[in-house]
Amino acid sequence: MRVRPLLTLLALLFPALAEAQQARKVYISVDMEGISGINGDNQTGPSGNEFGRARKLMAEDANAAIRGAFAGGATHVLINDSHGFQRNLLPEDLDPRARLISHSFKRHGMMEGLDSTFDAVIFVGYHAKAGSPRGLFAHTGSGVLADLQVNGKSVGEGGMNAILAAWYGVPVVAVTGDDVAVEQQKEITPGVRTVAVKRAINSRAVELRPLADARREIELAAREGVRGARRFGPERLPSYTVRMTFTNLTFPEVATAFREVRSISPSTVEFTRDNMPDAYRMIRVLYRFINTD
Ligand SMILES: [Zn+2]
C-alpha cells in the first residue's frame, strides 16, 4: 500500500490523527507599550485614567493579528496577555476563535503556554529594551533591569522570548511595536516581519500612525508570517549564561541567596543553566518575584 492511501485510511479510522496532521497552531504574546495608539503612562496600568481605553486598543491589535493568523492557515490561536499584571485583555473584546491566557503568576511570563507543538509565534505591542536611548517606555521586564544578557548578547523582552521560542523550534514570524522595538527584534530574528505602528521620538513622545492603517498592516504581517512559517530543528545550546544588571543594589544582593547566582559587581549577577526554559524561569524569578520592600 502506498503511503498516501495508508494515511487517508488511518485518518478515517482515527479522526484525532487527521486533525493533528492539519493543525496549525499560532502563539501570540501581547504586550501593551507598543500597541497602536498607546502614547501615555496613564494608559498602561489599571490605576491610569485611560486604562479602559488602552485595553480596548490592545484587544484591537490582538484581533488584527488573530484575523491574520487564521487567514494565513492557523487552526488554533493562543493569546498570552503579557503586560504588567497580565489581565488587561478582556475575553469579550477578543476574536472568539482565540483562547486567552491571563494573570501574571506564570513561571514563563510572556511566553506561558508555548511548547514545541506550535508552528509560529507573533509578538504584538512590543517595546524597546532597557537602556535604549529612544523607544517608547523602553524597559526590560518589570523595570528593575538596566540590562539583560544571554550568552554575552544584550537582549530585551523580544530577544529573550525569541531565544525561548527557538529552543522549542518555533519561528517568530512577526513583531509589532514602535520603530525601535521592531528594529531590535530584527537583530535577533532576522527574517521576522515587522510592523512599526508608531515612531518613537524619545522615550515618551511618539508619532502615531492612523489606527486603521496600523491594524491592516498587522493583519497582513500575521497572515503572511503564518502562511510562510516553517518550523526548524530546536536551537538548543549546551548552556545558557544569563547576566542581569539591575537599576538598584537590593535585587542583586537578594539574588545571590541562590547558590548558583554569582555576584559580578554590586549591580550585576550571573548564573548558568543547561536549558533555556530553566534559564527563563530563573530570569523571571530574579526580576519579578524578589521583594525588597
Ligand atoms: Zn514589556
Given 76, 108, 127, 139, the catalytic residue:
139
Domain boundaries, the chain: 23-143+157-227
Is residue 61 scored above 90 in pLDDT? yes
pLDDT digits (tens, 9 = 90+) for 87-114: 999 999 999 999 999 999 999 999 999 9
Is residue 81 scored above 60 in pLDDT? yes
Is residue 143 scored above 90 in pLDDT? no
**Position 1 confidence tier, pLDDT thresholds 50, 70, 90:** very low
Question: Separation of 156 CA from ligand 1 center, angstroms?
Answer: 9
Question: Separation of 139 CA from ligand 1 center, angstroms?
Answer: 7
Calculate mean pLDDT across residues 153-164.
98
Calculate mean pLDDT across residues 198-203.
96
Single pTM value for the model? 0.93
Is residue 21 scored above 70 in pLDDT? no
**Position 292 confidence tier, pLDDT thresholds 50, 70, 90:** confident
Q: What percent of the chain shows pLDDT beyond 70?
A: 93
Is residue 59 scored above 70 in pLDDT? yes
Question: Separation of 83 CA from ligand 1 center, angstroms?
Answer: 6
pLDDT at 293: 74
Is residue 16 scored above 70 in pLDDT? no
Question: Separation of 158 CA from ligand 1 center, angstroms?
Answer: 8
**Position 158 confidence tier, pLDDT thresholds 50, 70, 90:** very high
Calculate mean pLDDT across residues 184-208.
96
Question: Separation of 119 CA from ligand 1 center, angstroms?
Answer: 23
Calculate mean pLDDT across residues 180-188.
97
- Mean pLDDT of the residues in the chain: 94
Calculate mean pLDDT across residues 49-70.
98
pLDDT at 138: 96
**Position 48 confidence tier, pLDDT thresholds 50, 70, 90:** very high
pLDDT digits (tens, 9 = 90+) for 232-265: 999 999 999 999 999 999 999 999 999 999 999 9
pLDDT at 154: 97
Is residue 129 scored above 50 in pLDDT? yes
CATH fold for domain 23-143+157-227: Rossmann fold (3.40.50)
Instruction: For residues 122 and 45, give the distance between their C-alpha atoms in angstroms, rounded to a whole number.
Output: 23
Lowest pLDDT segment from 7-11, 12-16, 103-107, 235-239: 7-11
| DSSP characters over the chain | --HHHHHHHHHHH-HHHHHHHH--EEEEEE-STTSTT---TTSSSTTSTTHHHHHHHHHHHHHHHHHHHHHTT-SEEEEEE-STTS--S-GGGS-TTSEEE--S--TTGGGTT--TT-SEEEEEEE-PPTT-SSSTT--STTTTEEEEEETTEE--HHHHHHHHHHHTT--EEEEEEEHHHHHHHHHHSTT-EEEEEEEESSSS-EEEPPHHHHHHHHHHHHHHHHHT---------S-EEEEEEESSSHHHHHHTTSTTPEEEETTEEEEEESSHHHHHHHHHHHHHS----
Catalytic annotation present for 139: yes
Is residue 17 scored above 90 in pLDDT? no
Question: Separation of 66 CA from ligand 1 center, angstroms?
Answer: 20
Is residue 4 scored above 90 in pLDDT? no
pLDDT at 6: 62
